[in-house]
Each structure stands twice: as structure tokens, then as C-alpha cells.
């Protein structure tokens, strides 16, 4: 029958691979669904009796392979296994995970110096879902212990370290231990460090979040997110169920692009770190700058903690210009070599003024209380020649 179909039908049908196909590079699986050999196989896959692919919103060879690779990176050198999921963005990774582990009436305990988008997600969207957020200083372990002891409705302890954009660090081990003692999930955003510079699972964290858009991809041409957890049943059960039904999955192409970027992760992070150190040292010695936030500098209050938790100090830093908001705006408009862009982790240096962009909708009082002042400039230091980066900052100031 297949040999006698019309020309038009032949045009429509997919070619069948007859010889073993072993591409050196992972191809893009641009398909919305997957075939069954028989209805019996389809029933077995849908019922969970047999593993298999059904629909690209559920899983796809690209997204599955890349999520598994990130999970292996987070577990590198550690005992045991972890499971991962790839989502449509870092924000969808946070949303998907929290909906998978929390219910209406539960609370999140977190820090006030989070990425602005995460803060908005918690206090606006999650609040409408009946999930409240409690903010505190996560460096004050006695206060964290007190809050957890007094409120059993807190079910997740969420943190960034280093934080965006102040680079403040919290003690991963101490917070993970406190969370476990009170039967609370610990969740960390590891975007700034990547698994190469920091491995939170080594300190007992339950879940790790990434915006793979940033350093994992590294080239500014893909948007995706990742969720990694030690509890494989929970990741592949409740959390995956949210991904499947809410449609927060990554596309095959974004997964493919993420994988291409990750091939140079180690090389890039080494260069980002060395360049950032040189830029930070230049800024610290400049009289036009009142404060530099870079964990690699001994003057940073969290320098010793960062040394203990991180392999190197990464490519992110921020600095406070004398002159406040007006100075920040003038500086941004004077940049020539670097790029004004509301993201981070690309190979080129990116400059951001948080008060007028990423943290614009965070109340000013809350911003300033957590060091995100009107004159603060965030730098995602790229891998260019560091002299060119420094020259541009110098002329802009």
C-alpha cells in the first residue's frame, strides 16, 4: 500500500531512516508529537507502564537531554543522582517548581534583595493564588530559626547567592540545615554561579533553579530555565505535572541552543571571573565610586563566605556612583563600548541601572534597605579584553 500512494501523499509523509543514524551533534527534534508502534504501546505509555514520548509539551528528546545534562553538572563529583526539567524561562522555572511543591495557604520565606522579577512574582501572582511571602534577613540565622519555628505554614525557603544585584551571599549550608530541621523545602537560584562555580547540592539544598538564558547559554540567543532536584519522584511527578498542564516547557530549539552554549561554559566562566576581578579592582580605586560589590574583593563583607562556597567569584558586580540617580542615568547614556541591556551572562559586557529598570517596580524603601540604591550600576562583565571594558567605564564616569 505504501508503494502505491499518490505523489501528493508521498510529499506529505515523513522519510523513514533505514540506516543507523548517529549525528555528531544533537539535532533539533522539531516535532509536536511522537508515533506509537501500536495502540497497545500507546496505552502503555499513557498509563505509565512503558516509558516513551507522547507530545512535545510533555517531553522532547532535546529538552530531556539538556535537562539531564544540567542535572549531571549540578551533581558533578557528588554521590547520588538528580532529575531536571527544562522550562520556557527562568521565571517559569520558579513558577513551575513552586506550584509543584506549594499549595494555597502555604508561605515562602525569602530575602528582600531578590531579583526584582522574582519579588514581583511572589508578592503579586502567588499572593493571588493564596501563597504568601515572608521577607527577612537570611544572614540572621537566629531570626530565620525563630520565624520557621513560629509559622508551620512556611513550606519553602527560597534564596539567591550571590544576590542580584548586590552580590550579597548567604550561607547555603546553614539555610539548608534550618530548612531540613523544620521540614521545609530549600530552593536556590544558582544562575549567577552556574554548576561550574557553585554546587548547592553539596550543602544539602533540595532544589536548584537556573535561568539558562544567562551564563549556561552565554550568548544571548536563547531563553529557557531549568529546575533540578534530588527528589526524582517529586521532580518527575508533581513538578512535571505542573509543567505539562501549565505548558511551561522549553521548546526543542531553545534546548538545542542552550546545549551549544554550555559546551564553552568552563572556558567562559574562567574568563568572566578574571575580567570581573580586574574591573572591580579598577572601580575600587576610583574616587568617583563610593562602593563596589564584588565578592572577589577582600573588602566585600561576604568575601570569606563566597570563598568557601564558590570555586571563583564569577562575572557579576555592581558599584555605587557618587551622585545618585542623576549620575546613574548620565553614566548609562555615556556608555560606548559596553552594551545597555536588561540581561546578564552574555559574552559581551552588559550594563544595567536597576533603579530605572529591573527593580523599578520594587518599592524604593525596600530597594534601598537591601542596598539597591538610585546610583547603583550592575555590570555583567564579558569576555572581551578587560582593558577595553575599563576604558569605557572610565570615559563614561
pLDDT at 19: 67
- Please list, residue by residue across 206-237, b when 16 or more beta carbons sit within 10 angstroms of its beta carbon and e when fewer do: bbbbbbbbbbbbbebebbbbbbbbbbeebbee
Q: What number of other Cβ atoms are within 10 A of residue 21's Cβ?
A: 7
- Architecture field, domain 265-396: Alpha-Beta Complex (3.90)
pLDDT at 7: 65
Cite the residue boundaries of each domain of the chain with CATH code 3.90.1150.10: 265-396
Rounded-to-integer distance, Cα 122 and Cα 110, Å:
10
Residues 204-254: pLDDT tens digits? 999 999 999 999 999 999 999 999 999 999 999 999 999 999 999 999 999
pLDDT at 17: 67
Q: Element (H or E) spanning 211, and its range?
A: strand 207-211
pTM of the model: 0.94
Q: Which residues of the chain have pLDDT under 50?
A: none
CATH number of 39-262: 3.40.640.10
Cite the residue boundaries of each domain of the chain with CATH code 3.40.640.10: 39-262
Q: Which residues contact 214 (CB under 8 A, 6 or more apart)?
A: 90, 191, 192, 343, 344, 345
Amino acid at each position: 500500500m505504501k508503494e502505491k500512494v499518490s505523489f501528493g501523499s508521498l510529499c506529505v509523509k515523513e522519510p523513514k531512516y533505514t540506516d543507523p543514524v548517529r549525528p555528531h551533534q544533537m539535532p533539533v527534534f522539531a516535532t509536536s508529537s511522537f508515533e506509537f508502534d501500536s495502540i497497545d504501546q500507546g496505552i502503555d505509555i499513557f498509563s505509565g507502564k512503558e516509558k516513551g514520548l507522547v507530545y512535545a509539551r510533555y517531553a522532547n528528546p532535546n529538552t530531556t537531554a539538556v535537562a539531564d545534562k544540567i542535572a549531571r553538572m549540578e551533581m558533578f563529583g557528588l554521590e547520588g543522582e538528580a532529575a531536571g526539567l527544562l522550562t520556557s524561562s527562568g521565571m517559569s522555572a520558579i513558577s513551575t517548581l513552586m506550584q509543584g511543591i506549594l499549595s494555597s495557604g502555604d508561605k515562602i520565606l525569602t530575602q528582600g534583595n531578590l531579583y526584582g522579577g522574582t519579588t514581583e512574582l511572589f508578592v503579586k501572582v502567588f499572593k493571588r493564588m493564596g501563597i504568601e511571602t515572608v521577607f527577612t534577613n537570611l544572614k540572621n540565622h537566629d531570626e530565620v530559626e525563630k520565624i520557621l519555628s513560629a509559622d508551620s505554614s512556611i513550606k519553602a525557603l527560597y534564596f539567591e547567592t550571590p544576590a542580584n544585584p548586590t552580590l550579597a551571599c548567604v550561607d547555603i549550608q546553614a539555610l539548608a540545615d534550618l530548612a531540613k530541621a523544620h521540614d521545609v523545602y530549600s530552593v536556590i537560584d544558582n544562575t549567577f554561579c552556574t554548576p561550574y562555580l557553585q554546587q548547592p547540592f553539596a550543602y544539602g539544598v533540595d532544589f536548584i533553579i537556573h535561568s539558562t538564558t544567562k551564563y549556561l547559554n552565554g550568548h544571548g540567543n536563547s531563553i529557557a530555565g531549568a529546575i533540578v532536584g534530588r527528589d526524582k519522584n517529586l521532580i518527575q511527578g508533581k513538578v512535571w505535572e505542573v509543567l505539562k498542564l501549565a505548558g511551561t516547557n522549553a521548546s526543542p530549539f531553545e534546548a538545542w541552543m542552550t546545549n551549544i552554549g554550555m559546551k564553552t561554559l568552563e572556558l567562559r566562566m574562567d574568563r568572566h571571573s578574571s575580567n570581573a576581578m580586574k574591573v572591580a579592582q579598577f572601580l575600587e580605586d576610583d574616587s568617583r565610586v563610593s562602593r563596589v560589590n564584588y565578592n572577589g574583593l577582600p573588602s566585600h563583607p561576604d568575601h570569606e563566605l563566597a570563598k568557601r562556597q564558590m570555586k571563583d567569584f564569577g562575572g557579576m558586580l555592581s558599584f555605587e556612583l557618587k551622585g545618585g540617580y542623576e549620575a546613574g542615568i548620565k553614566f548609562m547614556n555615556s556608555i560606548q563600548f559596553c552594551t545597555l541591556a536588561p540581561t546578564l551572562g552574555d559574552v559581551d559586557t552588559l550594563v544595567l541601572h536597576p533603579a530605572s529598570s529591573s527593580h523599578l517596580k520594587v518599592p524604593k524603601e525596600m530597594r534601598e534597605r537591601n542596598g539597591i540604591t538610585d546610583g547603583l550600576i550592575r555590570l555583567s562583565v564579558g569576555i572581551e579584553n578587560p582593558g577595553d571594558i575599563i576604558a569605557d567605564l572610565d570615559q563614561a564616569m
